[in-house]
């Protein structure tokens, strides 16, 4: 081998080794930074009125949720969009204790014979009669200050409850990080004092209209939703936090999407 070729080959090998070690280090850093925090996939099945709704309901209740539970992905939430654009839409929230458990779920479901059998009508719906119009999905990691999903107390008794799903978009990543920090700096405590049921807080890793975060609150009914937001807005701790120069020197939230969801009868949240 010529000396020039040898040097080129050696440099390339060294570069590959450095890149591999860098990737391993980044993976370890990510695992370390997110240890003990849930990961979430939030799906929205966009439907049209008619047979699609029953087919999707049957699939989620009898095939998808039981199969996800067998993968230790639980509790799984399933919701109808009650107030918001693009109805009918069904939302599914899938929590997992690790990134791998969430992102590899579909690969493992493909090998689950029971899931394939029970979900056959949905999974193999013909193009002329599709099971849904479009499926959207986002991947999130839980905030460090609220690291795991919390099921509302009314769920165990199948009590009345509604859910509010809020997404905050920010102008840039720095403002986005400040908004996440704002939650971790005392906003949870204000929600707690006002009586909110706090379900999850997710920092979007993959999704649309980034950077953004999404969180879910729950209430016994819509009247309680209004009353608790009124208490939240008048709380002195919230006023102090929201006017802090650290968070108020510029608009750190550029757009808010606010949806009201109702749980399916088979929802585990």
Please list the pLDDT of the chain residue by residue as tens digits (269 residues).
554 454 444 444 444 444 444 434 444 444 567 899 999 999 999 999 999 999 999 999 999 999 999 999 999 999 999 999 999 999 999 999 999 999 999 999 999 999 999 999 999 999 999 999 999 999 999 999 999 999 999 999 989 999 999 999 999 999 999 999 999 999 999 999 999 999 999 999 999 999 999 999 999 999 999 999 999 999 999 999 999 999 998 899 999 999 999 999 999 99
The SS3 call for residue 255 is strand
Does residue 33 sit within a domain? no
How far is 218 from 164, CA to CA, in rounded Å? 6
Distances (CA, A) of 93 to 37, 39, 181, 208: 16, 10, 24, 16
Task: State the DSSP string of 121-184.
Answer: HHHT--TTS-S-SEEEEEEEEE-TTS-S----TTTTTT---EEEEEEEE-SSHHHHHHHHHHII
Total residues belonging to the chain: 269
**Residue 25 belongs to some domain of the structure:** no
Per-residue pLDDT, 34: 87
Whether 192 is in a domain gets the answer yes
* pLDDT value at residue 249: 86
Please classify residue 227 by burial: count the beta carbons closer than 10 Å to its beta carbon, then call 0-12 exposed, 13-18 middle and 19+ buried.
Answer: middle
Give the count of domains, the chain. Answer: 1
Residue 50: which CATH number?
A: 3.30.70.100
Angstrom distance (rounded) from CA 267 to CA 269: 5
Are 94 and 106 spatial neighbours (Cβ–Cβ below 8 Å)?
A: no
Is there a domain that residue 181 lies in? Answer: yes
* In-domain check, residue 146: yes
Q: Is residue 50 part of a domain?
A: yes
Q: Is 2 inside a domain boundary? A: no
Structural domain boundaries enclosing 82: 39-263
115 located within any domain: yes
């Amino acid at each position: 081998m010529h000396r020039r070729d040898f040097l080129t080959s050696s440099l390339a090998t060294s570069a590959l080794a450095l890149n591999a070690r860098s990737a391993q280090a980044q993976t370890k850093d990510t695992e370390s930074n997110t240890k003990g925090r849930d990961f979430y996939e939030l799906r929205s099945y966009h439907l049209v009125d008619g047979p699609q709704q029953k087919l999707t309901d049957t699939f989620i209740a009898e095939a998808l949720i039981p199969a996800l539970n067998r993968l230790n992905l639980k509790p799984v939430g399933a919701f109808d969009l009650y107030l918001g654009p693009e109805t009918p839409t069904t939302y599914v929230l899938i929590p997992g204790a690790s990134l791998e458990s969430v992102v590899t779920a579909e690969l493992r479901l493909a090998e689950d014979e029971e899931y394939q059998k029970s979900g056959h009508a949905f999974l193999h719906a013909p193009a002329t009669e599709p099971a849904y119009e479009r499926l959207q999905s986002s991947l999130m990691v839980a905030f460090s200050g609220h690291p795991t999903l919390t099921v509302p107390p009314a769920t165990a008794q199948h009590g009345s409850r509604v859910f509010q799903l809020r997404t905050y978009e920010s102008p840039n990543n720095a403002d986005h990080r400040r908004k996440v920090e704002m939650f971790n700096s005392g906003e949870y405590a204000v929600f707690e004092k006002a009586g909110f049921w706090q379900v999850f807080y997710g920092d979007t890793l993959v999704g649309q209209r980034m950077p953004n975060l999404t969180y879910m609150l729950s209430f016994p009914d819509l009247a309680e939703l209004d009353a608790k937001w009124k208490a939240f807005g008048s709380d002195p701790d919230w006023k102090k936090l929201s006017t802090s120069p650290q968070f108020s020197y510029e608009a750190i939230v550029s757009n808010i999407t606010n949806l009201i969801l109702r749980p399916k009868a088979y929802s585990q949240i």
